[in-house]
Amino acid sequence: QIDVKVLKDHGVHEGKRLQVVQEGSRSFVRHGEVMVEIPASWSSRADACSPDYLHHLLKRRISSCSILRVSGLPSSATEETVQEIFRGFVLAGGEEGNVVMEEGGKTAYVRMLDGEEATRALKLNGTATAGATLLVSKRLWGLS
Residues 68, 80 contacting (CB under 8 angstroms): no
Of the candidates 49, 42, 66, which has an alpha carbon nearest to the alpha carbon of residue 135?
66
Which domains, from first to last, does the chain contain? 4-62 (no CATH), 67-141 (3.30.70.330)
d(CA 65, CA 9): 23
Of the candidates 76, 84, 88, 67, which has an alpha carbon nearest to the alpha carbon of residue 132?
67
d(CA 113, CA 48): 34
d(CA 5, CA 137): 19
Q: Give the pLDDT band of residue 100 (cuts 50, 70, 90).
A: confident
d(CA 35, CA 38): 9
Task: Decide which of 51 and 136 is more confident.
Answer: 51
Q: What pLDDT does residue 130 have?
A: 47
pLDDT digits (tens, 9 = 90+) for 25-79: 778 888 777 777 777 776 567 667 788 888 777 766 665 667 777 777 777 888 8
Amino acid present at 21 = V
Percent of the chain predicted with pLDDT > 70: 68
Predicted model pTM = 0.53
Lowest mean pLDDT among 66-80, 83-97, 118-132: 118-132
In the predicted model, what is the mean pLDDT of the chain? 73
Percent of the chain predicted with pLDDT > 90: 2
